[in-house]
Structure 1
Amino acid sequence: MPDNKRIVFAINSLAGGGAERVLTTLLGGSAPWRNRYDIHLALLDDEPRAYAVPDWVEVHQLDARHKLLPSLKQLRALTERLSPDATLSFLTRANIANAWAMAGRGRPWLISERVNTSAHLGKGRGAIAAKAMVRMAYPRAAHVIAVSEGVVDDLADNFGVQRARMSAIANPIDHDQIAALAAEPPAFTPAGPYIAAAGRLVPNKNMALLLRAYAKAGPDARLVILGEGPERPALERLAAALGIADRVDMPGFVANPFALLARAQAYAMPSNAEGFPNGLVEAMACGVPVVATNCASGPSEILADRPRSAVTGGIDVDAGALVPTDDVDAFAAALRRVLVEPRRSACGARARARSRAYGVEQAAANYWARIEAALAAPSRHQPDDNVSRVQGANR
């Protein structure tokens, strides 16, 4: 019997975050392929691991310390030693390192883009360099797996990636694990019914919009914002200025958010940009109605089965409501509509049913189908020596 082909997955670390959780969920769902492939995982940074990896995955711990140049060198050395038949990387720095590591090897390398790249990289001198590296590396990948059609559009329109070499595969949601965690006692108990939101407290998540919309809607329910980040002081000042500080809870990072989400009256997602909004689908899996902005990328595909451009204004959907970005009035009105019974309960039930489209088994099968297609294809799309000019930047 011939030796199994060797597949190496790569990511910055497993220190916490949506991409890290998605990768470990996919690895956990890859058991049907473990007898056909030797599966390895390269971690660029030596950090405490927030997520477990199956014991049949061989983990290689590197120590790039969040820097690109050591990531390039160390992943290149690892691939020289392992000689993988294919690689698949997650997150921008790991993707750039993957391109460098596999340059000239004549074997396929794939990348998974987890964010709306233009929005994530932002503006400024560092962003210009980062975008240049993406434009240089991504089009040379054997295949680019995006988390939504909106991310596909962004990479095609702004980074020169051919649409024929991209596909959108939505993030997997582990419904059994969510149900088990949702049944646990919550770590934090609000003083009454509440609307929940979750996300890192950074500008793109636009929790300021949510505070303004909540103040305008004036619901009986409290507002609970889960997450931590640099915007906390500004958000606390805004809540005080709006006169709602005594009705807003910000307990910070909560290890098990599902116990809180499952008990919420509704889930609010006010983001300006997403790659794929994991928190939105996870809240839906908890049976909670949702109000979300129609941001790039993902919400319109999840909630309305339409591209973002096909949704104008705000619309009601089976799971709740979809509203324009940065529109306080529309978000407030949607909150009021969704919280009214019997609509709230009906939307919650439909949200749970809709979330079933994002199961682990289907996502894992889709990822492995792309890997196997790349293995079977002629070796024609390999990165050239231009990749060697990549120098210094961090995700």
Structure 2
Amino acid sequence: MAPDKKILFISLTDAPNGAENVLLTMAKEVGNEIWFLKRNQGANLKIPDHLTACYLSEVSIASGFARMIPKLRSFSPDLIMSTHPYLNAFLGFLKRLGYLHTKLIARECTSVFTRFTGLKKKVYRLIYRLGYPSIDLLVCQTELMKKQLLDHNRFIPDKKVLVQPNPIDFIKIMAGAEKPLINGDARLEFICSAGRLIPEKGFPILIEAFKSIKSEYPHLKLLLLGEGKERISLTTLIEANGLTGEVILKGQVDNPAPYFKHAKVCVVSSIKEGFPNVLLEMMAVNQSVVSTLCAGGIEEIPGIHKIEVNNVAALSNAIKQTLAATKATDVKVMHNYLAQRKPEIFAHSILNALNNLN
């Protein structure tokens, strides 16, 4: 696509979660504007000066949807990219109705048809059927995600689906890792994990695994970075296991890289993910990383300890083996892998794929 084209990025909110960060990374490379249907009430993405940000609502996502419709007509972009199923489908439906005439790129942020069941899964089936036929290019994070998408949506042609691994802003992560830990955390020896406090992240499994190794490593803490709806239940679990003060819920941390750098072990304990971007951030600054096989593509990553999901014993053993390792993984192995995920490679691969469809 020519550099003078008007490229618009749209997200539900500016919460600094994985999908939103990936969209912003793409926008920083090739975008003109990024719209958010609603401004997040907590932590927010950091928008660079060269990118115009528009917040359609301070009240609700629903009102953001309503305000987006007339604004799209007046802005008239050449290309729109979005990354949430409801938003993807809504934009596709507008194009199907003839209201939009722009090219649409939709990134799948998770495998909704394997993640959800019951009524919620049926709703997703409906919105995909209504909106996705008009999307020009669908971007999946892994081959497994592509297979699951096509298996559940036979109307989507294979040629319209691109597998493009998530990007990592390596330079930004490395720079952030040089910042000091504060509030006494620099004096701690700790294991670190990060993500929204939601069931899919598997934090109860990690807490149980940590408890099982605590007697061997009495000075070790477990720090969980992130905020979410499971805070109360996780706090209850921590108290029930006698781990108050040993497992620490740090809340939202704008720059987790120093924690990843100084952790004795970084852990991804998720049960199911599209792909855990935080794993890439951990690998950028730490050679001692453990991850569950919670997403396609993880089994191919070199230099990390990989285990099955939802298994306390396996996670406990992996953490102990990593703590006891006398020889660290060759950092070049990890960095060579991450070099394939540069933001510019991510952005231009997607735009080239769209051009090749034309």
Give TM class, smaller chain: 0.7 to 0.9
User: Which residue matches 1:79?
Assistant: 72
Q: Structure 2 vs 1, CA of residues 233 and 62 (structure 1 numbering), >3 Å: closer, same or farther?
A: closer
Deviation at 1:211, TM superposition (A): 1.1
Residues 117, 151 of structure 1: 8 Å contact kept: no
Cα distance in 1, alignment partners of residues 245 and 65 from structure 2? 49
Q: Structure 2 vs 1, CA of residues 254 and 164 (structure 1 numbering), >3 Å: closer, same or farther?
A: same
SS at match of 2:271: coil
User: Which residue matches 1:275?
Assistant: 274
1:28 aligns with 2:12: no
1:151 aligns with 2:134: no
The Cα offsets for residues 134-153 of structure 1, whole Å up to 9 and x where unpaired, read as: 23322431110112222212
Q: Structure 2 vs 1, CA of residues 56 and 185 (structure 1 numbering), >3 Å: closer, same or farther?
A: closer
Deviation at 1:276, TM superposition (A): 1.6
Q: Which one has more relative contact order, counting CA pairs under 8 Å at least 6 apart?
A: 1
1:279-294 equivalent positions in 2, closer than 5 A: 279-294=278-293
User: Which residue matches 1:384?
Assistant: none
SS at match of 1:365: helix
AA aligned opposite 1:258: A
AA aligned opposite 1:98: L
Find 2:321's aligned residue among 291, 313, 337. 337
User: Which residue matches 2:208?
Assistant: 212
Deviation at 1:174, TM superposition (A): 1.0
SS at match of 1:84: coil
The Cα offsets for residues 192-219 of structure 1, whole Å up to 9 and x where unpaired, read as: 3211101111111110111111222345
Residues 27, 34 of structure 2: 8 Å contact kept: no
Cα distance in 2, alignment partners of residues 83 and 248 from structure 1? 50
Find 1:108's aligned residue among 100, 103, 107. 103
User: Which residue matches 2:264?
Assistant: 265
Q: Structure 2 vs 1, CA of residues 76 and 254 (structure 1 numbering), >3 Å: closer, same or farther?
A: same
Deviation at 1:222, TM superposition (A): 2.2
User: Which residue matches 1:328?
Assistant: 312
Deviation at 1:348, TM superposition (A): 5.7
Unpaired runs of 5+ residues, structure 1, are 304-317, 378-395
1:46-85 equivalent positions in 2, closer than 5 A: 46-47=39-40, 50-63=44-57, 65-68=59-62, 70-85=63-78
User: Which residue matches 2:197?
Assistant: 201
Deviant stretches of 4+, over 6 Å: none
Q: TM-score, normalised by structure 2?
A: 0.87
Residues 12, 84 of structure 2: 8 Å contact kept: yes
SS at match of 1:339: helix
Cα distance in 1, alignment partners of residues 29 and 244 from structure 2? 43
Deviating more after overlay: 137-146 vs 276-285: 137-146
| Identical columns (%) | 24
Residues 320, 338 of structure 1: 8 Å contact kept: no
User: Which residue matches 2:349?
Assistant: 366
User: Which residue matches 1:129?
Assistant: 123
SS at match of 1:201: coil
User: Which residue matches 2:17?
Assistant: 17
Q: Structure 2 vs 1, CA of residues 211 and 141 (structure 1 numbering), >3 Å: closer, same or farther?
A: same
SS at match of 1:44: strand
SS at match of 2:80: strand
The Cα offsets for residues 282-306 of structure 1, whole Å up to 9 and x where unpaired, read as: 00011232111112344224x2xxx
Unpaired runs of 5+ residues, structure 2, are none
SS at match of 2:254: coil
Deviation at 1:269, TM superposition (A): 0.9
AA aligned opposite 2:346: A
The Cα offsets for residues 338-358 of structure 1, whole Å up to 9 and x where unpaired, read as: 112323x22666434432322
Cα distance in 2, alignment partners of residues 194 and 300 from structure 1? 26
SS at match of 2:318: helix
Residues 119, 273 of structure 1: 8 Å contact kept: no
Find 1:162's aligned residue among 149, 157, 163. 157
Residues 289, 348 of structure 1: 8 Å contact kept: no
Deviation at 1:119, TM superposition (A): 4.5
Find 2:338's aligned residue among 355, 358, 362. 355
The Cα offsets for residues 139-188 of structure 1, whole Å up to 9 and x where unpaired, read as: 43111011222221221112333322111212211111111111111134
Instruction: Output the aligned Cα RMSD.
Output: 2.6
1:91 aligns with 2:74: no
AA aligned opposite 1:21: N
Question: What is the count of residue pairs matched by the alignment?
Answer: 349
Deviation at 1:77, TM superposition (A): 1.8
Q: Structure 2 vs 1, CA of residues 365 and 234 (structure 1 numbering), >3 Å: closer, same or farther?
A: same
